[in-house]
A and B are shown apart, each in its own frame.
Chain A
Amino acid sequence: MKSVGKRAAIFGITMLIVSFVTFAAFTLISGDPAMRLLGTEATPERLQSLREQMGLNQPFAVRYLRWLAGFVTGDLGTSYSYNQPVWQLISPKVEVTLCMVVMSFGLIVLISIPLGLFSAQRAQGAEGALHTSLIQLAMAVPPFFTGILCSWVFGITLRFFMPGNFPGLHQNFAGSLHYLFFGAICVAIPRIAMTVRMLRSTIVGEMQKSYVRTAIARGNDRRQVLSRHVLKNSLVPTVTFLAQTMAEIVGGSIVVEQVFSIPGLGRFLVTSISNRDYPVVEALVVILAFWVVLSGTLGDLINQRIDPRLRLGGES
C-alpha cells in the first residue's frame, strides 16, 4: 500500500510541476491572447475591455490558482479562441490521437519483437551488416517524410485511403481506423527500427554471458537457450524501452497529424500555442504529461512483476 501511495504522490507532484511550468512559460513568452483575438481591430479601449473579460489583467499567482482550482474540480476553463469549454474541444482530439498511438504501439510491439529475435540470430557476417544498415535507414527516415511518401503512394496513386478526408471516429469508426492506420505506420517505422536494434544488441550481449556458455555446454541447443533463458533476461530492458516508446510516439504523432490532416491532439496543440490559447494548451500539456508519467509507471509495474528484485521496499 505504501508503494501505491508513493507512486500516486510522485504522479501528482509531476503534474503540478508541469502545469506550473507551462503556465509560467506563457507569461514569459511574448504574445497577448486578447490582441490576437482583436487582430487589426485592436484599439487600446477594446483591448482593455477584452483583457478584463478574459481575466488577463489579474496577477500570475491568482490566474494560476484559479486555473488549478478549476482543474481539480473538473473544470478546464473556456478556450479563448473558440469560446467553448476546453474539455468539449479536446476530448475528440484525445480520442483520435489515442487511437493512433495505440495502433502505432501495437505495430511496434508486433513487428519489432519477432524482427528483433530474428535479427539477433543473424547478427554476424554479411547478413548482420545488411540488417544494421536497414535499421539505420529506417531510423533515419523522419515520420513527416514517410508521411508525405505514404499519402502520395497509398493515398493519391493507389487510392487505398483519401488524404484530407478523415471521417471522424463517431461518424465512421472503421473508416477512421483505416485512415489512422497509415499515420500509425509512419509514426511506428523509426521506433520499430530502434526497438529491433535495442533488442538485437541486448540479446547478442546476453548470449555472450557465461550462463549461456554453461547452458550450451550442458547440451542445450542455442535456440532452446534463447527462448528459455536469454529472452527472459532481455525482457526487463525491452519493457523499459517500450514504455519510453509509448511516451515518445505521441511526439511523433504531432508531425504525422499535420501531414495527414488528422484532427488530433498534436495538431491542436501546435495551433493553440501559436494562438496563445492558454486554457487549451494548459489542458493538453497536462494530458501529455499524464501520458508520459503513466507510460513510465506501467513499465515499472510490469518490470516488477517480471523481476521481483525491482520491487520497491515496504511489503517484504
Chain B
Amino acid sequence: MNKVAFKGRKFLQALAAAFLAGALLLTGCGGGASSQSAEEARKQNNEIVIGIPQDLDDTLDPHYTTLAGTREVMFNVFEGLVKPDSQGNLIPAVAADVQISDDGLVYTFPLRENVKFHNGETVTAEDVIWSIRRNIEDENGTNLIPALQNIQSLDSEGSTVVITLADPNPEFLSYLTLAVLPADYADQATQPVGTGPYKFVSRAAQDNVVLERFEDYWGEGGHVDKVTYKIIGKADGLVQGLQSGALDLVSHMTTTQTSQLDESQFHIEEGTMNLVQALYLNNAEKPFDDVRVRQALCYAIDRQEILDLAFDGYGYPVGSSMFPAFGKYFDESLTDYYTYDPDEAKRLLAEAGYKDGFDMTITVPSNYQPHMDTASAIADQLSRVGIHAELITMEMNQWIEDVNQNRKFQSTVIGFDAKTLTGSAMLSRWVSDSPKNVINYNNSEYDELFAKASSTYDDAEQTQIYRQMERNLTENAANVYIQDLADLVVMRNGLTGLQFYPLYVLDVSTLQWEK
C-alpha cells in the first residue's frame, strides 16, 4: 500500500517537472535572440510589415469597395487610365497620354504599350472600355459612378480609347482614375487583378493581407519586394507590435500612442488625413433650422483649444467643407471667419429665442476615437454658453443607418473625405437634392452655384465658384467646422520614402529600406 501512494506522489512530481521543463523549452525556443533580429531579417529580405487597425472585410473588387481602409491598401494594386500623384495632379497611368478636344467633349487616350495585368495578360482597349462601362451600368443594371452617365460614346481605335461626352465637365478626368480591370474576370472580389505596382497575393480574414512587387510593372514600380498588412484589432496592439519588432509602419496614430514609442527605433512623419472633421448639424431639425443658432454654435467653439486638449496641438483648423491639402480649392480666410466669442454666441442665442440655451444630442460612432474626443470637447465648450449637449455613441453600422441613411439625428461629429481629386467630391454633397446631403442643407444660392460650376468648363472659373460655395457654407454656418486631423505615421528607422497624398491612401511603392 505504502508503495502505491509513494508512486502516485512521485508521478505527480514527475508530471509537474515535465510540465515546467516543457514550458521553459517553449519559452526558450524561438524567443530572445531570434526575435531580436526579425526586423533585420525583414530588411535583408526587403520586406515590410504594416500594422492596420481594421481588416479589409469588404469586397476587393475596386469598383465596389466602399471602406476607406480597403481603398487605402488597394490603391497600390489598381490604376486607371490616369492616377493621382502626391501633389494632387492626375498623371497618365494605363494611358500613355491624355488629349482633350478644345470644346472639352472628346477625350483621347492612346494606351501605354505593353501594360500588363498581374495575371500576365496585356491590357487592351477592350479591357478599358469594359471597366468604364461597368461603372456606367454594372451586371445588375446599377450605376456606380453617376458622373459617367455624361458619356455619349465609348470607342476604341486599335490601342486608343476615345470617350465623347454629352456636356463638357472639367472634372471628368478625375473619374477615370477608376481601376482598369481585365474584362469579364470573375474572381475580382476575392483574388483581385489590376495593373498597379503591387499585386495582390492573399488575404486571411482578421489576420493579414499580402502584396508583392509586380515585376512587369510599366513604370519604376515599388522598391520593397513584399508588403504584409497585419490586422491588429486593438490600438495598444499596434504600439506593442511596433515595440516587439512585429511591425515596421503604422499610420493614423494618436499622440498618446506615439508617446509610448522609443525614439531611437522609430521616426514619426506628420501629414494630414485629408478629411473635414466637423460638428455636422441637421439643418432641418430644430433648433438648427435657425441660422443664428448655427452661427452661435460656431462662435461658442474654440477650435484651437480642442486641438490642444484632445490632439496635443496636432491638426489643422478648417472653416468650411474643404481640407488644406486641396490647395487649389482651400480658402484659408474662411478658417477664422468665426473666432471664439462666447458673448456673441449668447447674444445670437438670445436673439433666436434661446436665452437660456437648450438641450441637444451629438451622435458619434464609438470606434473613431478622434471623433469621440472632439465630441466630448465640443460638449464641454457648449455648456459654457448654456447649451447642454448629450453624447450618443453607437457602432458605425448604426451610425450609417441613423445618420447617413435615415438622417435621424440632431448633430454628429464625423469626418468627410474626398474619393476623387475634385472640388465637387467635397461640395456636391450639400446640394439640396443630393442623396448624400445628410445635414439637409437647403440653400438656393448654393444649389445655383453648384449648377453653374458643373456646367463651367474653364478650370479657373470653376475653382472660383467652388470657393464661393465654400464661403456660402461658412457664412450660413452649415456646420461647425473643426479640423483636418493630423496623420501621424510611425516608421521603423531605416525605412524611408513615405509620401503623403491629398487622398486617403498609403503609397507603398515609394517606401524603401536604407541600404
Contact = CB atoms under 8 A, between A and B. Distances in A.
A164 B230 contact: yes
Contact of B395 (A84, A161, A274): A274
Interface stretch (B121-129, B169-177, B204-212): B204-212
Interface string A137-169: 000000000001001101110111111111010
Interface in A1-53: 30-32, 35-46, 49, 52-53
Interface in B413-450: 435-436
B140 interface: yes
Nearest to B38: A162
Which of A39, A223, A268: most chain B Cβ within 10 A?
A39
A271 to B, nearest CB: 6
A156 B244 contact: yes
Given A92-B204, A181-B27, A164 B237 contact: yes
B204 A39 contact: no
A142 to B, nearest CB: 15
Interface residues on B, range: 35 or more
Given A45-B142, A165-B244, A227-B4, A40 B436 contact: yes
A151 B436 CA distance: 44
Contact of A162 (B234, B245, B395): B245
Interface residues of A, number: 67
Given A160-B27, A165-B244, A31 B234 contact: no
Interface stretch (A122-130, A172-180, A198-206, A297-305): A172-180
Contacts of A261: 230-234, 237, 241
A284 B206 CA distance: 14
A35 B59 contact: no
B5 A263 contact: no
A270 to B, nearest CB: 8
B26 A156 contact: no
A258 interface: yes
B398 interface: yes
A79 B190 CA distance: 11
Interface string B181-217: 0000000011000000000000111111000000000
A292 interface: no
A84 B190 contact: yes
Interface string B1-37: 1101100110010011001000100110111100110
Given A161-B31, A259-B234, A224 B2 contact: yes
A37 B241 CA distance: 29
A163 B246 contact: yes
Nearest to A47: B405
Contacts of A32: 397, 401
B30 A174 contact: yes
Interface stretch (B50-58, B148-156, B266-274, B461-469): B50-58
B247 interface: yes
A42 B405 contact: yes
A166 B189 CA distance: 26
A114 B14 CA distance: 11
Contacts of B12: 114, 117
Contacts of A49: 140-142
A111 interface: yes
B393 interface: no
B237 A227 contact: no
Interface in A241-262: 258-259, 261
A161 B35 contact: yes
A165 B241 contact: yes
B124 to A, nearest CB: 26
Given A164-B230, A164-B232, A41 B5 contact: no
A110 interface: yes
A32 to B, nearest CB: 7
Given A37-B66, A117-B12, A156 B243 contact: yes
B8 A162 contact: no
Contacts of B244: 151, 155-156, 159, 161-165
A31 B398 contact: yes
Nearest to A182: B27
A82 to B, nearest CB: 6
A89 interface: yes
A191 interface: no
Contacts of B29: 174, 178
A290 B176 CA distance: 51
B100 interface: no
Contacts of A181: 23, 26-27
A71 B69 CA distance: 32
B15 A110 contact: yes
Nearest to A36: B397
A81 interface: yes
A267 interface: yes
A41 B64 CA distance: 10
B404 A40 contact: yes
Contacts of A227: 4-5, 8
Which of B29, B205, B244, B396: most chain A Cβ within 10 A?
B205
A39 B395 CA distance: 13
Interface string B233-259: 110111011011111000000000000
A45 B404 CA distance: 15
A166 B243 contact: no
Given A117-B12, A271-B233, A164 B397 contact: no
> Which 4 A-B residue pairings sit nearest by Cβ, starting from the closest?
A164-B241, A165-B246, A263-B207, A164-B246
Given A49-B140, A174-B29, A174-B30, 7 more contacts: A31-B401, A35-B400, A181-B26, A224-B5, A263-B207, A267-B233, A274-B396
12 contacts: A36-B397, A83-B190, A159-B36, A162-B244, A162-B246, A163-B246, A223-B5, A224-B5, A227-B4, A263-B206, A263-B231, A271-B206
